[in-house]
Amino acid sequence: MRRVALIYNPMSGQRSEQRTALIADIAAVFEGAGIDVRTIATDAPESAGRLAQEAIADGCDTILACGGDGTVHEALQTMVGGSAVLGVIPMGTANALARDLGLPSSPVKAAKMLLNATPVRVSVGNVFFRDGEGRSCSRYFVVAAGIGADGLFFSRLDSRMKRRFGYAAYLVEAVRMALTHTFPLFTASFTEAGSDLPRAEEVSQLLAVRISNFGGLVNNLVPGAALDNDKLHVIAFKTRSRLLYLQFMAAVWIRQHSYARTIELVDCSSVDCSDLEGSTEPSFVEADGEWLGTLPARIELVPHALMLLIPENNLRSRR
């Protein structure tokens, strides 16, 4: 780590008015270690990827996404396949990747921990989908990608409400969906690990997970899910029952959940999803908490595609 770019969203998370001073404190941590630092504020929605690319072209070997999972997601898009290293400093509303990496919630403490972190090449997910204008698109993801209820959930989240109320905005929207959503079905065709023959199921929700600890009440959602794991772990909800959804989430919160025929955990190399014939309700697609578009969609894994900065204590726990 010789030259670092701190890319931050001035509007990410709460207390955005304190962000400039906090970024200066983070920069001082790296400058104190003899590292050349640039601070770069995003200047438009989805500009973090472009700014990361420009910083790398200007000689930065490490990009630190200072924000939530959305800022990380944007920077990720232009770094897959390259040699520059991506790191994360938690400064957003949701910081699932930072939690999974074992980083402290304090941005300055997280910066100090990253001084001794190790660059590790990890696999990332790739989701293909149709955007709001009907165009075929794709995005990489490092936390999770979902189709169905959680895609609708993230399409409804208001950025102003997230900045004002933080994590409470997520809880309010989750309760509203639990009471009103009808969980329409779509088709998911799994190509399971070790098999060339796809298996089709009708599902109301699908979640491809790359990490285990999302923070808060969602810990160890998928045992064995890890950034250095080359399997695509997919949770398939083959039910429209609101009660079964609530029972499963309650079990997750108390860490007593399990998987069976109705809510199945599938290890696969890819999954293709499409609307049921005659369906009138669109199924929404999200990745890393960012709403992307609608079906048809495909999710697959890109092996060893990203250099990610992982703290030493997290590396030891994986060995």
CATH number where 284 lies: 2.60.200.40
**Has residue 315 been placed in a domain?**
no
Kindly give, in sequence order, each residue whose CB lies less than 8 Å from that of residue 141, ignoring residues fewer than 6 positions away.
Answer: 73, 76, 124, 125, 126, 127, 208, 210, 287, 288
The reply to whether 291 and 249 lie within a common domain is yes
C-alpha torsion sign, points 206, 226, 127, 104 = positive
Domain boundary residue, one of 116, 151, 173 = 116
Burial class (CB in 10 A: 0-12, 13-18, 19+), 164: exposed
Angle at the Cα of 44 (from 110 to 161), degrees rounded to 5?
A: 70
Domain boundary residue, one of 58, 93, 116 = 116
The reply to whether 207 and 277 lie within a common domain is yes
The reply to whether 98 and 142 lie within a common domain is no
| CA-wise closest residue to 66 among 43, 95, 46 | 95
The reply to whether 85 and 164 lie within a common domain is no
233-268 residue pLDDT tens: 999 999 999 999 989 989 998 999 999 999 999 999
The CATH number assigned to the domain holding 52 equals: 3.40.50.10330
Domain interval for residue 30 = 3-116
Domain boundary residue, one of 87, 116, 145 = 116
Distance in angstroms (rounded) separating the CA atoms of residues 113 and 301: 29
The reply to whether 104 and 140 lie within a common domain is no
The reply to whether 112 and 130 lie within a common domain is no
The reply to whether 105 and 170 lie within a common domain is no
The reply to whether 92 and 185 lie within a common domain is no
pLDDT at 160: 58
The reply to whether 98 and 141 lie within a common domain is no
The reply to whether 93 and 135 lie within a common domain is no
Residues 84, 309: contact at Cβ < 8 Å?
Answer: no
6-48 residue pLDDT tens: 999 876 555 666 788 899 999 999 999 999 999 999 988 889 9
Specify the pTM. 0.91
Residues in the chain: 319
Q: Digits of tens for pLDDT over the chain (319 positions)? A: 999 999 998 765 556 667 888 999 999 999 999 999 999 999 888 899 999 999 999 999 999 999 989 999 999 999 999 999 999 999 987 899 999 999 999 999 999 999 999 999 999 999 999 998 999 999 999 999 999 988 988 887 665 555 565 556 666 666 677 667 789 999 999 998 778 889 999 999 999 999 988 987 888 899 888 888 888 999 999 999 999 998 998 999 899 999 999 999 999 999 999 999 988 888 999 999 999 999 999 999 999 999 999 998 887 566 5
The reply to whether 149 and 68 lie within a common domain is no
Q: Which of the 8 DSSP states describes residue 165?
A: H
